[in-house]
Amino acid sequence: MDSKNTLIYGAHVARNVSIITLALSFSKLILAYYTNSVSIMADSYHSFADIIPISAAWVGLKIAQKPRNEKFPYGYYKAENLATFVASIFIFILAYEIITKSISSIYHHSEVAHTLLGSVTMIVFVGISYALHLYQHSAAKKTGSQALLANARETKMDVVFSSFVLIGFVLASMGYTWIGSTVGFIISLFVIHAGCQSMRDSILSLMDAGLSREEIEKIKKVILETPRLREVKRIYARRSGPFVMVEAEISVPANLNVNQAHMVATEVEKRLVELKEVDHAFVHVEPPNNSVRIIAIPVREKGVPSKEFGSAPYFEIYREYNNKRVFLKRIENPGASLEKKKGVKAALFLIEHGVDRVEVLNIGDDSRKILEDSGIIISTE
């Protein structure tokens, strides 16, 4: 799913959830007045609070679909983050309304009515909330939308809250009227927590906070799989709406010319934007660090070193820095399956992967010459 279709799908989901949540909120409000229940009233306010962030996400995702221009070269993706921030303010206002209503009801007891109808209806509302949670969570995973994911978490909490409201309503009908008001007050605290969480996430995105260490490592792993790459020096990544913008600094072998180095950078950018959440990638090539070397060792099955170069089925690739080696990957030798010129094919293959040194006991003269002419060191010790 490309950027445009991601935004369209996300906006479509946000619109559907907004309409359903609005209907659910009004239904709870009507039920609260009909049953005279403070806890159901608080739950209806909580649902109204949910409308604001998901509606903001809808508006934000619609604005984010506008094409890039000279004034906004990175697009309008942050409109979603801005809408989420504004929505968080309204969540705090609704939380205040729930608190004042609950505290007032604790001191002014009122009997609930129509217990059976209220109980059955609340069970239906719990089922609807759970279905909405699954719908939004699935859409958030497909689109990477921060707003949809935040609202999916909030809707999951709705399922828990509404369940407690149902219990409080039943107990209130048995004469424990203070329980409904207490449940309403507790719900308000969770509403405040949800508002704080949404505001924090939106502020971090608006201020271009970096990604988590796990997310950076995922990006780094994709970069390191690129042939002829020497080193990943730095990665800068930030969120913009549902997408991620990445800037990276890499180094390539010193024997590559400008065009070859540019081709490596272009390949890295291509691999990055293939990641679902990455919309933009920029890669800058820096001079290589001579203390870093890429080592290739021909091996057989289970990593057993091979005495021969061209016929070895695999090569293990290591990065050496300050006399310390780190295993990177094992790659198949494309020359092993050939009848002739196995070593030549393997040598050209290692050159493409930016190898600086090959450690092998036996190597043919043609293979040795190809590697050494490319500046690759041969070690037969």
Q: Per residue in 48-72, pLDDT tens? A: 777 767 776 777 667 767 777 777 7
Per-residue confidence (pLDDT) for residue 294, from 0 to 100: 86
CB atoms within 10 A of CB 358: 24
Q: 253-265: per-residue pLDDT in tens?
A: 777 778 888 988 9
User: Which is it for strands 292-299 and 357-359: parallel, antiparallel or unpaired?
Assistant: parallel
CA angle 56, 58, 61 (to 5 degrees): 105
Per the prediction, the chain carries an average pLDDT of: 81
Strands (E) across 6-115 are located at none
Whole-number pLDDT of residue 165: 77
Of 147-161, 180-194, 248-262, 297-311, where does the model show the most confidence? 297-311
Distances 304 to 316, 333, 360 between C-alpha atoms, Å: 10, 15, 12
Give the pLDDT score at 186. 77
What confidence score (pLDDT) does residue 252 get?
83
241: left (phi over 0), alpha (psi -120 to 50) or beta: left
Q: Is the per-residue pLDDT at 142 higher than 80? A: no
CA nearest neighbour of 133 among 111, 160, 113: 160
Residue bearing the bigger pLDDT, 378 or 107: 378
pLDDT at 153: 74
**140 vs 9: CA distance, rounded Å:** 10
* Nearest partner of 101 among 34, 33, 173, judged by Cα: 33
Yes or no: say if 43 and 187 are a contact pair by the CB < 8 Å rule.
Answer: yes
Q: What secondary structure letter does DSSP report for 292? A: E
Q: In this model, does residue 174 exceed pLDDT 70?
A: yes
The candidate with the shortest Cα–Cα distance to 173, out of 33, 37, 28, is 37
pLDDT at 168: 73
Phi, psi dihedral angles at 66 (to 5 degrees): -65, 140
User: Residue 181 above 70 pLDDT?
Assistant: no
Q: Which residues pair with 238 in a beta bridge?
A: 210, 245
Torsion sign across C-alpha atoms 46, 48, 49, 54: positive
Give me the pLDDT at residue 132, please.
87
Q: pLDDT grade, residue 179 (50/70/90)?
A: low
Rounded to a whole number of angstroms, the distance between the first and last alpha carbons of the chain is 51
Tokens of 20: 């359903």
> Percent of the chain scored above 70 by pLDDT?
88
Domains of the chain plus CATH, in order, are: 3-206 (1.20.1510.10), 213-286 (3.30.70.1350), 292-379 (3.30.420.130)
Q: What is the pTM of this model?
A: 0.59
Please give the pLDDT value at position 235: 93
Residue 340 amino acid letter? K
- Whether 77 has a pLDDT exceeding 60, the answer reads yes
* 4 band by pLDDT with thresholds 50, 70 and 90: low
**What is the torsion angle, in degrees rounded to the nearest 10, for the CA atoms of residue 224, residue 319, residue 214 and residue 302?**
90
Element spanning 259, H or E: helix 258-273
User: Exposed, middle or buried, 90 (CB in 10 Å: 0-12/13-18/19+)?
Assistant: middle
Determine the pLDDT at residue 359: 92
The model's confidence at residue 314, banded by pLDDT at 50, 70 and 90, is very high
* Contact in structure between 264 and 224 (CB atoms under 8 Å): no
What percentage of the chain carries pLDDT values higher than 90? 13
Using pLDDT thresholds of 50, 70 and 90, give the confidence band for residue 147. Answer: low
The string of pLDDT tens digits covering residues 204-253 is 878 877 788 888 989 998 898 887 787 888 999 988 776 788 999 998 87
